[in-house]
Amino acid sequence: MLRVSSLTKRYKTGDEALRGVSFEVPAGQVVALIGPSGAGKSTLIRCINRLVNPTSGGIDLNGIEITHLGGRGLRRARRHMGMIFQEYALVERLTVMENVLSGRLGYVPFWRSFLRRFPQEDVDKAFALLERVGLSEQVDKRASALSGGQRQRVGIARALEQDPKLLLVDEPTASLDPKTARQIMRLICEVCRERNLPAIISLHDVPLAKMFADRIVGLRAGAIVFDGAPAELDTAMLTEIYGAEDWTQIHPDREAEAEPAPDDRHAREERMAGLT
Ligand SMILES: Nc1ncnc2c1ncn2[C@@H]1O[C@H](COP(=O)(O)OP(=O)(O)OP(=O)(O)O)[C@@H](O)[C@H]1O
């Protein structure tokens, strides 16, 4: 369980990026974070993993208050947060397997990682994860030889290799075509369900958020203006979140796909009812 309370962030420039944000994410819930450019989505995700220091407020992950951690305590807390990035952040010259194993770097001693000698159980886990994300045929390929969708699958496997207690995902589909974007979102949501992992996924693509997330949090000017089920997010609410910005034009090619497929909707309803 992640609990964010009264979180504020004022940058040195005076920008108030977060103005008292509070919400909780229970185990297994996938939350899509939406909002116009500059709303504070990245700042919120970066405060949670402490790449940015919040100005005030609290962040509690499974009973550990992480806002004031430093040094070893912060490193230990970060191990429990898997990150998935828009631009994948892979090491291009390394293989798929080596990139996935880099998810263990917070756990293994430096000399072992330097010599790339990872414990066998880490290697076995990486093989299993690569099979899960559909890359068992690409294990020895260099990252530079992969497609965008394959790279993001490596990013997902790498995040899971570190045994996270929380997934933080920043615009995972922004560099992908619409079909691949749906496959990647589906995969992220499935693995969260399988592992009972809470996740926060920032997305510009509203139809994609509605299609896959269990819950949507809408940020505007650093404050939460919507927090509810995807079905509750109607045009009036979207206009409130995005203001004058015409949100339907953000990804017009995906508008026709805004309705979830029956299977997805059924699975999401079951999950929300706590049946699965
Ligand atoms: N390093 C920084 N220094 C100063 N101000 C910043 C910094 N990073 C972000 N901001 C400001 O904080 C506010 C929120 O920015 P943030 O990047 O969190 O929004 P966002 O919702 O992620 O936007 P986008 O969707 O464009 O990525 C903006 O006003 C931005 O200019």
Of all protein residues, the one whose alpha carbon is nearest to atom 16 of ligand 1 is: 40
Cα distance between residue 198 and residue 49, in whole Å: 14
Q: Could you tell me if 118 and 104 are in contact, meaning their C-beta atoms sit under 8 angstroms apart?
A: yes
Whole-number Å distance, alpha carbon 272 to ligand 1 midpoint, is 32
Q: What confidence tier does 131 reach under pLDDT thresholds 50, 70, 90?
A: very high
Q: What confidence tier does 87 reach under pLDDT thresholds 50, 70, 90?
A: confident
Taking residues 177-181, report their average pLDDT: 91
Q: What confidence tier does 153 reach under pLDDT thresholds 50, 70, 90?
A: very high
Task: Write down the architecture of domain 2-97+164-242 according to CATH.
Answer: 3-Layer(aba) Sandwich (3.40)
pTM of the model: 0.86
Whole-number Å distance, alpha carbon 32 to ligand 1 midpoint, is 18
Of all protein residues, the one whose alpha carbon is nearest to atom 25 of ligand 1 is: 37
Residue 42 near ligand 1, beta carbon < 6 Å: yes
Q: Could you tell me if 228 and 182 are in contact, meaning their C-beta atoms sit under 8 angstroms apart?
A: no
pLDDT at 119 over 50: yes
Residues 6 or more apart from 175 whose CB is under 8 A from it?
Answer: 86, 87, 148
Query: Is residue 275 classed as helix, strand or coil in its secondary structure?
Result: coil
**What is the per-residue pLDDT across 241-275, written as a single tens digit (0 to 9) for each?**
998 666 655 544 444 344 444 445 455 544 434 33
Kind plus residue range of the DSSP H or E element containing 16: strand 16-25
Predicted pLDDT at 272: 39
Cα distance between residue 187 and residue 201, in whole Å: 13
Residue 255 near ligand 1, beta carbon < 6 Å: no
Taking residues 208-227, report their average pLDDT: 96
Predicted pLDDT at 29: 95
Predicted pLDDT at 259: 42
Predicted pLDDT at 183: 92
Q: Could you tell me if 197 and 27 are in contact, meaning their C-beta atoms sit under 8 angstroms apart?
A: yes
Residue 8 near ligand 1, beta carbon < 6 Å: no
85, exposed or middle or buried, with CB in 10 Å at 0-12, 13-18, 19+? middle
- Residue 116 has what DSSP assignment? T
Domain boundaries, the chain: 2-97+164-242
Closest atom of ligand 1 to 13 CA is 4
Closest atom of ligand 1 to 52 CA is 1
Pocket test for ligand 1, best of 8, 43, 46, 49 (most atoms within 8 A of CB): 43
Structure ipTM: 0.98
Distance between the two ends of the chain, CA-based, in angstroms?
A: 18
Residues 6 or more apart from 75 whose CB is under 8 A from it?
Answer: 106
160, exposed or middle or buried, with CB in 10 Å at 0-12, 13-18, 19+? buried
